[in-house]
Amino acid sequence: MHADAQPLLNIMLDAIINFFGKEPKMHIAILTLTFSLPGCGSLKEKRQRMGGLHARFGSTPSVAVCESGGRARHDASEWTFVIVGLSKREVESQCSQIEEKIERIVDARVMNVEREFI
């Protein structure tokens, strides 16, 4: 995960913990995907090729999403998703669904996928 994303993730996690109490009853996963955009010549083209990830996934109540790295680069990108659910199985399923959907909609190579459960 890119260092610039850590403060945003800390704020989101603090909000979740404050909402649910000191011992959250929710399961939380941090899903980070790193992309390579070969042949991408501009930031505008990058936005088009990434397919509006924030708009597609940010409207889901159990998912928070942000571009967490490579913002100024047109040939690479990193996106981080924070997923919450009532069970680990539910969260794992949602992570898998996000990964599968991204494979279909994004015109980029997925270079790395990291899942962290907290």
Domains of the chain: 5-16+26-117 (3.30.70.1120)
Nearest 5°: the CA angle 36, 38, 39 is: 150
Convert the pLDDT of each residue in 28-62 to its tens digit: 999 999 999 999 999 999 989 987 888 888 888 89
25 pLDDT exceeds 90? no
| pLDDT score of 10 | 72
75 pLDDT exceeds 70? yes
3 pLDDT exceeds 70? no
Beta strands in the chain (DSSP E): 27-36, 63-69, 76-85, 109-117
Q: Pairing relation of β-strands 76-85 and 27-36?
A: antiparallel
3-class DSSP assignment, residue 61: coil
26 pLDDT exceeds 90? no
Q: Which of 78, 85, 38 is nearest to 61 (CA)?
A: 85
Both tokens of 97, joined, read 């669904």
Distance CA 115, CA 118 (A): 10
| pLDDT score of 117 | 94
Given CA atoms 74, 55, 33, 104 in this order, what sign does their dihedral have? negative
pTM for the model: 0.79
Distances (CA, A) of 62 to 41, 57, 71: 34, 9, 24
